[in-house]
Structures are given as C-alpha cells and as structure tokens.
Structure 1
C-alpha cells in the first residue's frame, strides 16, 4: 500500500488507514516504538506498558482474589 508523508503542524506525518491498523493488530492511542535505520522506519508495539494502580485495584473481585499466602516465620529483621 502506498501513502504520502505530509506536514501536520510543524512535523511530518503519515496517516494510517483504519484497515492497516486493524490488519496489524494496532489500536488508537496504543504506544509504539519506532526503530529507525537508513531508508527504513519500523513501527512495533511498545514493551513499556504503563499501568494505572487505581484501574488495576478496581479490577480486583472475589473471582480473581486469592487467599493470604504464608512464607513462614521471620528469619531476620523483618517487621511484622
């Protein structure tokens, strides 16, 4: 598929058709890494995913919560 790099504000931009995003398995607002080498730009999913603690905590429910796990008695200067 051919596309054209155009100006967007002060930066060059490449618009990706929705079909291209879907076929590659990408979503809007997804973080990506750019790998640049002479004559080539590769877009791949970012491995650095930021998690929001409040969102993660809201996802806890009776079905996915486990019981307390004991690791035994203190063996050093652990605070209990």
Structure 2
C-alpha cells in the first residue's frame, strides 16, 4: 500500500489507512514511537500499562494458590 507525505501546518504528515491501523491493532490517539533504522521509518506501538482496576476486571477467579517444594536445606537455614 502506498501513501504520500503531505503538509500539515508547519509539519509533514502521513495518513494511515484504516486497514493498516486494524492490521497493526492501533486506534486513534494510541501512542507510538518513531525510529529510523537503516534508512527505514519504523512505527512502534507503545504498550499501555494496565491499571490495577483493569487487571482486577479481567480476573476470572481461576487462580488457585498452593505450596511448592523448594528442596532440602543446603546451608544454614533456620527451620
């Protein structure tokens, strides 16, 4: 797919087609990092950190904690 660099105010801009954004799983206002590597412009999505509330909302209650064996003592551990 091809596009054109166009003037946007005092800057230059590239419009990203909807199909490209969908394939890259990007949305409007997502943060990205721009890099130039070996003469190529690379757009890298910045991963959004989830809040505690978002993590709790995703929890399905399927985690079961348990004990684990760390092996026999090998030094001066206090038992």
Q: Fold conserved (TM > 0.5)? A: yes
TM norm structure 2 = 0.55
Cα offsets for 1:34-69 (capped at 9, x unmatched): 2214742112344x441211110122232x222254
Residue 59 in 1 paired to residue 58 in 2?
Answer: yes
Distance 2:42 2:58 in 1: 34
Say if 1:61 and 1:26 are closer, same or farther in 2 by CA, change over 3 A: closer
Q: Secondary structure at the match of 1:57?
A: helix
Number of aligned residue pairs: give it.
71
Root mean square deviation, CA, Å: 3.1
2:20 match? 20
TM norm structure 1 = 0.55
1:50 match? 49
2:5 match? 5
Question: What residue ranges of structure 2 are gaps of 5+ in the alignment?
Answer: 71-76
Q: Say whether the 8 Å CA contact 2:5–2:12 is kept in structure 1.
A: yes
